[in-house]
Amino acid sequence: MPSTLPTTGRAWHLVARPTGWPTDANFALRTAPVSEPGAGEILVRNRYLSVDPYMRGRMNAGRSYVAPFELDEPMLGDALGEVVASRADGVAVGDLVVHQLGWREFATLPAADAAVVPRDLGVPDTAFLGVLGMTGLTAYVGMKDIARVREGDVVFVSGAAGAVGGPAGQLARLLGASRVIGSAGGPEKARLLTEEFGFDAAIDYKAAPVGEQLAKAAPEGIDVYFDNVGGDHLEAALDALNVFGRVAVCGLISSYNATEPVPGPRNLGLVLGRRLRVEGFLVTDHQARRAEFLRQTAEWVRSGQLRYRETVFEGIERATEAFLAMMRGGNVGKMLVALEG
C-alpha cells in the first residue's frame, strides 16, 4: 500500500430534487474523507467524469428503470481513473479502470465493480467513456440488435451530433444502410454530420419543422429510426416510416426537463397500419455484447471508419455546468469533465 494516500476529496451531492430544469441550488460540492481500500477493494483517482442525459431522471424521486440519486449523497456516473491503491488480485496500482462512482475526485470500491481498461486496442483512454464506453455500446446494440439494420435501409437518427447519435449513424452505414439522415441543432452541427461523420443528409431541427425536412431528405420514406429525442422527432419519423419499419428508442431527451406532458406523437395509429416495430432498450441489458463490441469498434476507430468527438470541461467545479450544457445541446459528441492530477 502506498505510504501517502489521499485523505479527503470533493464530490457533487444532490441536495434538492429539481422541478423542470435543474439549477445551481440543486447541487453542492462537498469535501469528505476518502476511505482506504479493504480486502478486494481499490482506491481510484478519477481522471475523467462522464455526464449523460439519463442522469436527469435519477434526480427525480420515484420508481424508474434506474434508482434515483439519494439526497445529500454523492451522485453516481461513469468515470475513468487511475488505481492508486489496491488490495485486489488482478488490479494493480497504475491500472486505468472504468467504474460508476463518478461525480467525485476519489472512489473506493470493490474491484469487481470496475473494468480494467485494455491498453492494447490503440485508442485514446477517454474513448472508454464514449465511443468504446456506455454510449458507444448503446449505439452498437441499438443499430445491430434492436433496429437490425440491413443492406439498403434508409436510416434516420435524432440527436445525431451527440455521444450516441454520432456513432449510431456511422454504424448504420457500416452495417449496410444505403442512406443515413441525422438531426441536430444548428448549422454547425448539421455540417459536422455530413462533412465529418459521413451522413448523407442533415436536418437542423432549429431551422424548420422536422417532418418537413425529413420528407425532403427521404422522399421514399425511411426504414429505421434511432430515437434519442422523442416528441416531434418521433412523430415525424412515424410519418416517414415505410411498411415494416423499425424504431429503436434509446432516449426521450425532449421530455426530461418538462413539467407538463410533451406533445407527440399523435400518429401512433401508424404503428398498426404499417406494421411497425417500436422497441425501447437499455444498454444495461446487453452487457454480453461488450467484448465483441470493443474488438469491432476499436478496429473501426483505428481505421478511421468510425469518427467521434468529445467536449471537455476542465475541473470538478464545472461538472454541473457541463451537465446542464449537455442537456441544452452545448456539446458535440461525448461530454466529459477532466479532473486535475
Enter the C-alpha cell of residue 312: 471537455
Which is nearest to 50 in space by CA: 294, 332, 276, 319? Answer: 319
Per-residue pLDDT of the chain (341 residues; tens, 9 = 90+): 555 889 999 999 999 999 999 999 999 999 999 999 999 999 999 999 999 999 999 999 988 888 999 999 999 999 999 999 999 999 999 999 999 999 999 999 999 999 999 989 999 999 999 999 999 999 999 999 999 999 999 999 999 999 999 999 999 999 999 999 999 999 999 999 999 999 999 999 999 999 999 999 999 999 999 999 999 999 999 999 999 999 999 999 999 998 888 777 999 999 999 999 999 999 999 999 999 999 999 999 999 999 999 999 999 999 999 999 999 999 999 999 999 75
Which backbone phi and psi does 212 adopt, to 5 degrees? -65, -45
Measured CA to CA in angstroms, residue 251 lies from 58, 150, 331 at distances of 14, 22, 17
pTM: 0.94
Strands (E) in the chain, as ranges, are: 8-14, 27-33, 41-50, 79-86, 96-99, 106-110, 115-116, 154-157, 179-184, 201-204, 222-227, 241-249, 277-280, 310-314, 334-338
Q: CA 117, CA 104: separation in Å to the nearest integer?
A: 19
* Domains present along the chain, CATH in parentheses: 8-118+308-338 (3.90.180.10), 134-284 (3.40.50.720)
Enter the C-alpha cell of residue 132: 468504446
Enter the C-alpha cell of residue 106: 476519489
Measured CA to CA in angstroms, residue 226 lies from 86, 140, 169, 229, 230 at distances of 41, 11, 9, 9, 10
